[in-house]
Every structure is written in structure tokens, then in C-alpha cells.
A and B are shown apart, each in its own frame.
Chain A
Amino acid sequence: MAEARRTNRMWRNLNAKIAAIPMVLTTLVVFVGGTAWTVLYSFTDSKLLPRERWVGFDQYERLWSNSRWLTSIENLMVYGVLSLVFTITIGFLLAVAMDQKIRYEDTFRTIMLYPFALSFIVTGLVWQWILNPEFGIQSIVRGLGWESFTFNPLNDPKLVLYGLLIAGLWQGTGFVMCLMLAGLRGIDEDIWKAARVDGIPTWKTYLQIILPMMRPVFITTLVIVAAGIIKLYDLVVAQTSGGPGTASQVPAMYVYDYMFQAQNLGQGFAASTMMLLTVLIVLIPWAYLEFGGKKHG
């Protein structure tokens, strides 16, 4: 009897189980299996093909003594911090402006969000053209009479990250504005009424009441934007190809080049494992706040 019941349970909802096969395979084989495989093989000296010759932390030692990797990490940190601060500040300010019962709200939203529909390749190439020193902004300002004006970020190792930032913000701020606006609209109208009754000025209401209430929206936005920054690749490929020299290299580029160009798989695996680690550093505190907190009410 017990045997029969067990088989019965196995066959119950068989179709639902068959339907879930792609999801089970994706999660177990690709997401968990693939990630574990890469982490494991980052401890080998795989070159052209993966092989099981274990070398401990050799690849990581080599990685952290490679100046190109160090530049990539430094770039990611600088770009990441600047990008996070600016996207979230600009996104929030625009959302507040949009929330003032303005006219033409739909038009403004359409204009702010269209870059987000475009490929990073398109974004990178357009801004490469606008920042072109011979024809773009620099030459136009010089043409107006300011002969010594210099604005050539894409060819200046010290400024190239700002060139990328201009393009990255152009593409991403509209999206953050939309998330923030949704957050602002989700706040109870009564809170505004209460603040008005108490005579608190609008700016102060935003700063001291609305901003703390939007904390969950800010955290979610932060995580989404940060995860996107760590993956940063297409934009750099299109806009600067990592140059001038190695001035705008990013980790994702290092991984790709070592895996598919330099035929040094081990280095690629080690570098991508470091990228995973960076994501986990962002993700774990968030998951803890988001899901761990619920248990305590």
C-alpha cells in the first residue's frame, strides 16, 4: 500500500513536473552547476582547453599581480561609485520634478527613458562621436572662439572614465527615474496632507519624511544598478575598446580576453570568480535585509 501511494504521488501532477524540466535544468545545470564548475576550474592551470591539473591559488596570485587586472578593478570601483551616486541622485531629483503635477509628463518620460531601450553598443558609438576631439564638442567650442578649450576625455587616460560615465548616465538615469517615481507615487497621500497641515516646507518633507520612507526603493535600485555596473562590458567595448592603452579596462573585458582570445582559460576563470565574489558582496547584505529580516517581523 505504502509503495503504491508513493508511486502515486510521483505520478501526480506529472505534466506540471514535465513542464518544470527546463527550469530545473537551467537552475541546477547552468546556474548552480556552471558557476561551481568555473570556480572549481579556476584552481587549475587550464590553457587552451580545461584540464584537471590543480595548482591551488596560483591563478589568483597571477591575477592580483597583473597590472591590467589591477587597473580594471580600480576603474570598476571609481566608475561604480561615481555611477551609483550620480544615477541615484539624478534619478531621484528628476522623479521629484516629475511628481509636481507637471504638464507634459508623458512627453518628458518618453524623452528620458528612450536611451534605455537602446543597445550599449549604440550608446557607446554615439558618445564616441560626440566626444570626438576633431569634430565633437571640443571643436565646436573652439570654433566659437575659445581656442585653448580642451575636452577630449576618450583620449586622456585620466578622464576616460568620465567619458564613459557621461554615456552610462545618459542611458541609465531615465530608468532609475522611473523606479523612483513609482516609489514616490506609492507613498500615501495622507502623509503629504499631514505634513502640509503641520506647515512643513515641501523640500523638508522630501528630505526628512519621504526619503526615509523610500528606503526599500533605494535599496532595490542600488542592487539592480550595482549588479549592472559589475557586468559593464558592451559600453566600454564600443566607446573606448578599453583604451587609451589600458586606461578604461574593466574586469568583464579581462575575462573575455583571457578566455576567448589569449587562450588562458585558468586566468579567465579566476577573474570571473572574482567578479562573482564582488556580486556576492553586494547581494548577501541585501538578501539578508530583504528576506532575513522578515522572520523577525
Chain B
Amino acid sequence: MVDATAIYTRSDAVPRGTKPKRALSGRNIMIYGTLLVFSLYYLLPLWVMVMTSLKGMPEIRMGNIFAPPVEITFEPWVKAWSQACTGLNCDGLSRGFWNSVTILIPSVILSIVVASVNGYALTFWKFKGSDVFFTILIFGAFIPYQVMLYPIVILLREMGLYGSLWGLVLVHTVFGMPILTLLFRNYFSTIPEELFKAARVDGAGFWAIYAKILMPMSLPIFVVAIILQVTGIWNDFLFGVVYTKPDLYPMTVQLNNIVNSVQGVKEYNVNMAATLLTGLVPLFIYFVSGKLFVRGIAAGAVKG
């Protein structure tokens, strides 16, 4: 007993646990040093974009692309938005912006409705062969789009939708389906089946259960899906080029045409303003959504 007390008092007098780490240990310098160097790499392009877009052309020719502007001008932004030329059209990037918005809204809604119903049917209303379709769907996510580009052109032409807004909306719905269905199926399968059975006993049918019980319970996953689709569809380039006509080109396509056009004097400040404008929508979504964005992009990597 005496011994035990002795140990107790002794250990009480001596500091316990590991030695407190100094803030500037070699280990910390290495960790924070690595993170800071990489942060610089990640932030540099954003910095350069903003700085270049606020300078006049004479200042760009004189100076350093990393330096902040001596004289801030918003002229390049105005020009990129309303006067930049693609071919003979000189009405700026605003046209591409509004095209992207008109493509985005129906595509996001339709793709999410279809995929969430898929996920719902695959979780609670399994029918013969439903798992086979799901497997094909997931494998479909890995097939290079190039293999399906032309058959879809034929299908859309047969439906009279080739080159139209609704054709592109359908394409986004089809190619958004694998990842979104996986997302919804994984989420719905965490919902207790008793809840679903109770609703059935009460006489609720397929659509009633979906709309009145499942949807209200699953708002977070719908938000994740919206984030995923808004950024994905906004950033699309290939489908925009292949399935629409020039007057319906989304913003990314028009941006590329403006910046990489060979005619005329290159106005780097206008180009960077245009690039930044195109990036604003996904950046806004990203900074507002925070962790939900991470959840969305991780969904594809989590096993179903």
C-alpha cells in the first residue's frame, strides 16, 4: 500500500505523457512546409488569373504576370462578357453563359429525377434482372464516351433532337445516370426497410412512397447530387461540341473558341477575365458547398 502511494505521488510530481511538442520541431516544419509549398502551386493560377484580368494590355506587356496591377481596370471583364469575338460574332461570353444556364437547369433536374427513381427502384422494388442493369450501368461509367458518340448522334437524329437543347439534356441525363444512381442507391439502402414496409401496409404505392417519404428524408443526398451535376455539366466540353450547334454552344466551348482563335491580336487580360468568368459558377458552388462537394466526388470511389 505504501509503495502504491509512493508511486502515485512520484508520478504526480513528474510530468506525465509524452513530452509536449515544440511548435517549431523539425517534423512540423516538414509537414507545414510541404503543405505550404503545394498550396502555393494550387493557388498560383487563381492569383495569376485574377491579376492578369485586372491589368491593361500595356502593363501586361511591360511587366510580370505574378505582380498585382499598378492600375486596376475592369475593362477586360466588360469586354470578355459583352464584346469578345468568336468568329464573326462579337457579343461576348454572355451568350455562352446563358446557353450554359439553359442547358444546365433542365439537365440537372431531369438527370436527378431519373437517377433518384432508379436508386429507389433498385433498393426497394427489385425486379428480376434489376441487378444486371445496375452492373451494366456502373461498367458504363468506364466506357470511353468516344465509343458511344456516333450511335447517339444517330439516335438523336432519329428522334429529331440532334443539335437541339433537349438532345444535349438527354445526353447529360444518360451519362450522369451511372454515378448518380450509385449515389442514390447507396443512400437509400441505409434507410430501414421497416419504414418502407410500414408505408406499404398503409396502402402507399410506388410514387407515393417516393414523393412523401423518401424524398423528404433524403434532402442531403439530393443536394450532393445537385452539386455534382451543376459542376459536371457546367464544365462539360465534349458533349457541347458534338451535340449542339454554334448558336447553342455552352460557355466552355465558347471560351475555348475565344481564347484559342488565331485571328486578331491576343488580348491576354480579356482571355483571363473570360476564363475566370467561366470558372466562377463551379467555384461558387465549391466554396459554398464545402464538405458536401467532397462527399459528392467521393461517392464514385466508395464501393456500392
Q: Which A residues contact B (CB, under 8 angstroms)? A: 13, 15-17, 19-20, 22-24, 26-35, 37-39, 50, 90, 93-94, 97-98, 100, 102, 108-123, 125-130, 132, 135-136, 140, 143, 170, 174-175, 178-179, 182, 220-221, 223-224, 227, 230-231, 233-234, 237-238, 241, 251-252, 255-256, 259-260, 265, 268-269, 271-273, 275-276, 279, 283, 287, 290
Contacts and interface: CB of A to CB of B under 8 A. Distances in A.
Interface stretch (B1-9, B30-38, B70-78, B83-91): B30-38
A118 B174 CA distance: 22
11 contacts: A34-B152, A38-B151, A97-B35, A111-B43, A119-B234, A119-B282, A121-B235, A122-B255, A126-B45, A129-B49, A252-B144
Given A35-B147, A119-B237, A129-B48, A24 B43 contact: no
B280 to A, nearest CB: 10
- Which of B38, B66, B142, B145 counts the most chain A CB atoms within 10 A? B142
B42 A118 contact: no
Interface string B128-166: 001001001101101111111111101100000000000
A27 B140 CA distance: 8
B65 A136 contact: yes
B177 interface: yes
A32 B207 CA distance: 29
A227 to B, nearest CB: 5
A149 B44 CA distance: 21
Contacts of A272: 144, 146-147, 149
B213 interface: no
Chain B interface size, as a band, is 35 or more
Question: Which 6 pairs between the two chains have the least Cβ-Cβ distance?
Answer: A16-B125, A15-B206, A119-B235, A34-B151, A31-B140, A117-B286
Secondary structure at chain A's binding surface: helix, strand, loop or mixed? helix
Contact of A108 (B39, B61, B143, B238): B39
Contacts of B268: 129, 132, 135
A20 B127 contact: yes
A111 B39 contact: yes
A125 B45 CA distance: 10
Given A31-B137, A122-B279, A227-B142, A268 B150 contact: yes
Contacts of A129: 48-49, 52, 65, 268, 271-272
Contact of B127 (A17, A112, A178, A230): A17
A19 B237 contact: no
Contacts of A15: 205-207
B229 interface: no
A173 B136 CA distance: 29
Contacts of B279: 118-119, 122
B69 interface: no
Nearest to A35: B147
